[in-house]
Each structure stands twice: as structure tokens, then as C-alpha cells.
Amino acid sequence: MLKEPRRVVIEGVEPEIDGGRFPIKRVIGDKVAVKADVFADGHEEITAFLLHRFEQNENWSRVPMEPLGNDRWGAAFEVHRFGFHYYTITAWVDHFRTWQRSLAKKYEFGQDIGAELLLGLDLIRTALIHAPPSVAERLRFFGESLDREKTDSEQAYSITQSTELAALVDACSLPRRETCFEKELKVWVDRKQAEFSAWYEFFPRSCGSDSKVHGTFADCVALLSDIAHMGFNVVYLPPIHPVGRTNRKGKNNVPQGSADDPGSPWAIGSSLGGHTSVNPQLGTLDDFMEFVRKANELGLEVALDLAFQCSLDHPYVREHPEWFRWRPDGSIQFAENPPKKYEDVVPLHFDTENWQELWDELKRVVLFWVEKGVRIFRVDNPHTKPFSFWEWLIAEVKTSYPDVLFLSEAFTRPKVMYRLAKLGFTQSYTYFTWRNTRHELTEYVTELTATSAKEVFRPNFWPNTPDILPEFLQYGGRPAFIIRLVLAATLSSNYGIYGPAFELCVSEAISGKEEYMDSEKYQITHWDREQPGNLRDLIRRMNRIRKVNPALHKTSNVRFYDVENEYLLFYGKITEDASNILLMVVNLDPFRTQAGVIHVPLAELGITERQPYLVHDLLGDEKYIWQGSGNYVELDPNVMPAKIFSVRRRMRREADFDYFL
């Protein structure tokens, strides 16, 4: 049987991820801008609406879509609650607007419009039959006015072209052959912390009085105020669970440690407990919860490491041997990533026939810590576990706790990283760690911010981690650390540092590797954070700049601009209303002074060539009056390898000059 025909076509909807298989991501207060190709046969006018609703609402809200040219239409809506929102599009051939346009053409060419006016009256009367009470009276007024003035072409024409009249007709539930887009697309809305955060990582066991004393959560509390004072809002702890004894690693990852070695925190589990237990050397579960409470009082959230792997001493190995892979000789398969071997760690066997029991247990682990006040997890190596597991787990957790955030530590292939983001990971580590040149940075950040990746993949830029000491930091000295700090904190709205090692510019690596010598992963390290040359004041200033400048609260608004030197990177961030304009220039060479002419995008900033404008370097606190697009910048890496210019577009009084000079 033939279906009733629909003349309008809706296609090319954006954003739409994998045909609607996955939701896009936003945070509370964001706009969701939707575009689509909407067209029909013939020459009639089309009306299109963007429909949207929160998951718990049955009724749709409607936003009129505007033509953008070449049959492209657009509209936007804001999201104000975290959870799922849905959106779709409906459109139809609009006979009323077609009539308005046809009448206008005849009137403009001086043709008789009497018949057209009568047709319009019929359309208004039809609309009145279906008009809700809220519009009926006003619509009747237009109909009576047109009927009264139909012999006066000029007056009648004026009435017919009213935009209010068209809107009133739209509000009537007229029988029409609407085309509805065949899918309801989804938006997952997170809290703002998902889009704007500054992470500080440290090892609690290194917070004792010296390197021979195992730190406790009580010791860590003293560090929290300083971390908060530096402007961070997330404190990330490596695993806090009991550490296995079997094959425990020694300093610098030697296969056999001594009895005094604390081992790697990622070798989780012993006779003292597993993933829901606290290493008693750190304190009790109550001590941890007090640490979380103190952090929250200071405006810090605690992020826990979620590492779904075990030591050979983990209770799971004894209680659920079916969750692990066993060799033919009866030995258990430890973790390997040739040439690296992790003899102290055994991976979970997700292909076990008892997978459902395993999945339920891992969900229990996450919910255990959520119920203890943890709302952020940094997930270790998620790319080594099944995609279907993560999609299920994250959805299960967010059903009850939609405010929980997950950071994916997936230094792996791009498509795998993007897939994990689509499955629900809130943020992700990135290749930023290894992007150093102007071309590399521009190309990579453009990929993250100007392709469909921006709809689902939230980058979190880390210059270093306990696992990675990049060559740039090994050889570039203190300037290299400043360069990477400024880049991470301004290119991305989410960034983090492996704290003490970064703020002290630690650069000693194992020969030929991107690994720290005397890595804190395998030993307790006593950090003298007051050492000369530390970056604490600069980090504090950088985080303050981020906090008070809304342009830095998003990643997708970054734009790269021309500069006449390959060693300089020039880019900007502007708020949607242009009330906050920042221009960043970074010397990518940690060894030599670099200079060049930057080309300020005046048209984009709403500044004319002859108009002076004020720039304030927020890092160095210098102020300048510029005019024109070309301006000379010189950056000595041993003084300050970067500038962050706040731009004031208009000087309204002569006094403004005096203030800034």
C-alpha cells in the first residue's frame, strides 16, 4: 500500500555521529547548533523546525530554522540539565508563505492581486479552524482586517506581508504532509567540569617527611591548599589500593625489588584486599573520605585511577581464576607489551565465559568509589578492554550518577581513541605530548577542533605523565617546561601535569627512553617543591589567567593565524559574543630568541586598519597600543617564551591611553 507522499527531503544533518549511533557531547549552558539540507521539488516555500527535548520530557520544543543558502538550514537550542537530550527536524511545503511570496511578486510588478487576496483569506480561515485559543483572537483580527481592506491593494498588501501573521499560522496545527527526519539524535550533557579543568597528579605515598617514610592521606591534606592555591580544580591520585608482593618491581622497574621497595601502585591487590580496599600504609577508608572532604572544601575534586588489572596476589586470582588467562604449564599470563614486560601485573581475561559476572564486579568497584564521594576517574589503558564493556559500564554508572566523568588514558591509534570517546569517555589523553613543531601542533589541534571529532572527543593535554618524559622536556631545560605549560593550558580547555616533576622541571631520563630516571612509579620520592627555578608561581598565574578569561574555557574556539617565523606559533581564542579576546604567541624553540611579525586578524576582531587597540600581555604584564594587523614580537625563551595578549578593541576616551601607558 502506498504511503502518503512527502515532498520535503531532509538530509546532511549535522552534528550526527555515525548515522546517529552515538550522542554528541555538550556541557550545561552550551548551545547545540544544528544544520541540515532541507529542500523539495518545485518552487514552493519551505518551513523547517528544529525539535528538541530533555530525556524525561515527552513534548518537543520547537525552534524555527533559518535558510543559510543553497538549501542549507540552521537553528540552535541551549541545554540546561545534564543527561540525554534529543533533537530532530521536521519540515513541510508551506502554502501560506508560498502565497505570501507569490502575492509580493505580483504586487511588485503592478499586477492585479484581487484573486490572490481572496486565496489568502481562505488560508487564514482554514488556519482559524485549527487555531489554539492563544492565537485565535489575533489571527481573527488579521483575517477581518484583510477582508475589510481587500479592495485597497496597498493596505491589503501591507497586512499580508506581516511576519506576525505567518507566525500565527505556524502556530496552528494545520493538516499538512510533514517530513520528519527519520532519527532522533542524542546529546549527552555533562557538568561544566567536563569541558574546563586543570589536573594535578601526585603520589600520596611521596607526601611523607622524607623518602624513607611512606606518606599517608593525612600527610596529603597539607598539600591540598597549595594545589588549590596554584589554581587546579582536580587532584588525581594513582591507584590507592594494596600493592602485590609477588614479582614486585624495584627502583627503575628492575624485575626483582627488595623487601623495602613499595612496588608499583598499578600492581593492585594483596592479601589485604583488592580494588575496593585502601593500602593501609596510606591510611583507612575513612582517612581517604576525609581527604576527599578536605579537597572539596578547597574547590578541588579528587580523581581516582581506575586500573582494571591485578597483581598475582589479588583476591580475584584465588576466588575467580576463570577471570584470568592461564598458560598450558599452569602459570598465569602476566601483562606484556614487547619489549616491555610487567611481571607484577596480570590482565583480566575479558573473553572468559564468565564475562557477565566479571562485568558486574567491575561495575561494583566503580560504584563503590562513587558512593564514597569520587566523581572523576582516570581510566588506565581502556583500549586494552572490550569496547562493548566500556559502553555498558559508563551507561550503567551514568544512569544513577550522571555527573560522573571518565578520562581515557588511551595512548593508542586515533580511531581507537575516537571510538572510546564515542562510547562515553568524557575526556581523553592525546598526542599533544609529542607534537612540538608549528606544523604538528596546527595540524593536530585543527583535527581536534575543526572536524566531526570536536562533537565527541574532548582533549586533555598533558605535557608529561609518570610514564612519559618527552624528549622535548629532557633537553629543552626550564624554557621547554614553560612552553609546554602555556601550550597545554591555552590550546585545550582541559589540561594536566604530573605535578612535582613538572613544577621542578625534572628532566633526567633513562638513556634512550622517554621514561623518568628514578621514576616515582617504583619508589617513594621526597620532593623539595621550594627549589630555586620551580614553576609554581608561573603555574599559579597561568591557571588564574585561565579562570578569569572565558575564551579559554573551551577548546573548539581556537584559531591559528599567520606569523612570519616557523618557530613561532600564533593563535587566538574569542568568546562567542567577542567580549573576551585572547591572542597567544609561543616561541617553540627553547634554546634561541625568535622574533617575527604576527598578523592580527583585524576583521575577525571587528577592528579597522586605522583603529588603535590595546593589548595587555597577561604573562609579563606589559601593555601596548597597536594599530594595523602587522605587529613585531620577540620572545627570549630564557626570559619568557610566550605572550598571552588580552585585546581591548575600542578606546573611547583619551584617558584610556594614559591608563594603559
CA of residue 639 relative to chain centroid, distance: 32
Pairwise CA distance, residues 535 & 503, whole Å: 5
Distance, CA of 460 to CA of 429 (rounded, Å) = 5
Of residues 409, 520, 589, 617, which has the active-site annotation?
409
Rounded Cα distance between 422 and 24, Å, is 8
Q: What torsion, rounded to 10 degrees, do the Cα atoms 49, 50, 52, 58 define?
A: 30
DSSP, collapsed to helix, strand or coil, labels residue 555 as coil
Query: What grid cell was written down for 30?
Result: 552550551
604 is catalytic: no
Backbone angles phi, psi at 658, to 5 degrees: -60, -40
**How many Å apart are CA 658 and CA 661, to the nearest integer?**
5
Spatial contact of 305 and 239, defined as CB atoms under 8 Å apart: yes
Dist CA 549 CA 489 (whole Å): 12
Residue type, 65: M
C-alpha–C-alpha distance, residues 94 and 264, integer Å:
68
Q: How many CB atoms lie within 10 A of CB 446?
A: 13
Helical H segments across 257-343, by residue range: 285-297, 315-319
Per the CB < 8 A criterion, the answer to whether 464 and 498 are in contact is: yes
Q: CB neighbours (10 Å) of residue 576?
A: 11
Residue 552's Cβ-side half-sphere holds a number of Cα atoms within 13 Å equal to 24
Give yes or no for a contact between 74 and 21, defined as CB atoms under 8 angstroms apart.
no
Q: Residues with Cβ < 8 Å from 310, sequence gap 6 or more?
A: 244, 268, 269, 274, 316, 317, 324, 345, 346, 348
Based on the residue annotation, tell me whether 305 is a catalytic residue of this protein.
Answer: no
Choose, from 305, 380, 520, 589, the residue flagged as catalytic: 380
Query: b vs e for 212-245, b when ≥16 Cβ sit within 10 Å of the residue's Cβ?
Result: eebbbbebbbebbeebbebbbbbbbbbbbbbbbb
* φ, ψ for residue 117, nearest 5 deg: -65, -40
The cell numbers describing 569, all together, are: 606559533
**Active site members:** 380, 409
